[in-house]
A and B are shown apart, each in its own frame.
Chain A
């Protein structure tokens, strides 16, 4: 039995759909207006939503868009059930976020059968890899520990997994190196986006992003340092939420400060990779960061400490670091400076240019920790 939300302004249609679905054993929640339906979906996300297109005040396309922008309903299957029968209507509905399109020429049995199919599609298949939608932010309060490099290589590694769409959100507006390290030439950036009065959607974000050959879509922080300006926390929050609705992974590269913009990214992330190097100052910064995370109420489980060996000798041992942080280190990236510098200079991420290197192997291992089967 599933909990199904039906939004249709036609009371006759609503009764008929409710009757058919209740008879099939489902719990049906109804709404005759878009706003009312959205409110119900936001309060308690349904297992499936059936939405009419032609409704006064707010049409079905808009309801689909708003549901998809809502964090709790990003994955809710949506069936558009309409008297509009044209291909252009179907195309627009799917673009707005609908999972299925059914015309009202369908019989109640066909409707019930489609509902069953959609619910089955959503149910996890035992042993199958679950489609995740995660925002992963990489952060270090101490600069120069290789956060950007790690973010890029992690994004590329995740994008090489089958059927994974990955976005790389660059928030380093004073020291943006992501476009350079990936050798991409963006025409617009998050800075321009934050200055424009536009509705942030997947469609509108598309023109601000640049695609890397690995499949990663990059949203750079800034095009030129002369134009650099802090990005409002609200913009970061909205961009992150929208990107999550269209990508399996959103990797966020952050500057080494706990400003409003970075905090917005950290608070709205599903996982945080805390990057540190094996030296005392970095451990101290990591300890302070963990205290800050606790005061922000961030989940302990979401924090993944990673040690990046940026120097050859004399570093603290992993055991010492784990004791200092009172938590296990999930990954350790080995020291391979020549390969890394070569990769940066050539604009090809290390996981692509030196896939069998120790660093690439460690990053792949980290990716597998972050994307469990």
Chain B
């Protein structure tokens, strides 16, 4: 149900201590493209509802307008896959999914990484120009509260916040 109108994307933004549920004004681009735009350091958020990580459903503050430093974001959870960057979808080589496990401050994330052609971690993590990478069917858990899980169609993870990145040697059978 598109209740927010065009140009707004509802998402959960996670820093290493907070969960911020808000709408981002992406000006009709995808959120991933907006996050990867190096010309802007901040993300403008509307109707921001803040929860502390140890009680992630309890709303401790809410404001109509907020500004979030992109480099302070650990990861973003989107309800569906359609909000990721369109650029990943097309290519001459077959798409393959790899099971991945990564750690970021306060969280561990499991999911599937879509790769076109052969997986090259160096190219993905070091040479790639994008700041946020997309993990599909992801499950994120705060490492101090592993019983709590956050899931979504897509998780956009800030590459600069990744501490450990593990992947399966071969593509997962579902790819």
Q: A interface vs B, CB < 8 Å? A: 9-10, 12-13, 16, 53-56, 59, 61, 83-89, 91-93, 103-108, 110-111
Name the CB-closest residue of A to B63: A56
Listed A/B pairs (11) with beta-carbon separation below 8 Å: A9-B47, A13-B3, A13-B4, A16-B3, A54-B21, A54-B59, A59-B59, A61-B57, A91-B57, A92-B57, A105-B1
**What distance in Å separates the Cβ of A81 from its nearest Cβ neighbour in chain B?**
9
> CB within 8 A of B1: which of A54, A84, A92, A106?
A106
> CB within 8 A of B79: which of A10, A92, A105?
A105
**What distance in Å separates the Cβ of B10 from its nearest Cβ neighbour in chain A?**
4
The answer to whether A105 and B80 touch across the interface, beta carbons within 8 angstroms, is yes
Binary contact track B35-50/A, C-beta < 8 Å → 1, others 0: 0000000000001010
> Which residues of A are found within 8 Å of B21, using beta-carbon distances?
54, 83-84
- Docked pose: A34 CA to B62 CA in angstroms: 14
B65 at the binding interface (Cβ < 8 Å): no
The answer to whether A88 and B57 touch across the interface, beta carbons within 8 angstroms, is yes
> Which residues of A are found within 8 Å of B4, using beta-carbon distances?
10, 12-13
Interface range for B? 20 to 34
Closest A-B pairs by Cβ, 4 of them: A92-B57, A13-B3, A83-B10, A54-B49
> Which residues of B are found within 8 Å of A89, using beta-carbon distances?
57
> Which residues of B are found within 8 Å of A110, using beta-carbon distances?
1
**What distance in Å separates the Cβ of A283 from its nearest Cβ neighbour in chain B?**
57
**What distance in Å separates the Cβ of B149 from its nearest Cβ neighbour in chain A?**
6
> Which residues of A are found within 8 Å of B171, using beta-carbon distances?
none
**What distance in Å separates the Cβ of B39 from its nearest Cβ neighbour in chain A?**
28
> Which residues of A are found within 8 Å of B57, using beta-carbon distances?
61, 84, 86, 88-89, 91-93
**What distance in Å separates the Cβ of A35 from its nearest Cβ neighbour in chain B?**
15
- Docked pose: A13 CA to B150 CA in angstroms: 24
Name the CB-closest residue of B to A56: B62
The answer to whether B47 and A85 touch across the interface, beta carbons within 8 angstroms, is no
The answer to whether A85 and B152 touch (CB under 8 A), given A54-B59, A56-B62, A111-B1, is: yes
> CB within 8 A of A87: which of B10, B80, B151?
B151
* Further pairs besides A85-B151, A88-B148, A89-B57: 7, Cβ < 8 Å: A10-B4, A54-B47, A55-B62, A61-B59, A83-B10, A86-B12, A91-B57
> CB within 8 A of A107: which of B1, B56, B62, B79?
B1
- Docked pose: A85 CA to B152 CA in angstroms: 8
B173 at the binding interface (Cβ < 8 Å): no
- Docked pose: A13 CA to B47 CA in angstroms: 13
The answer to whether A87 and B79 touch across the interface, beta carbons within 8 angstroms, is no
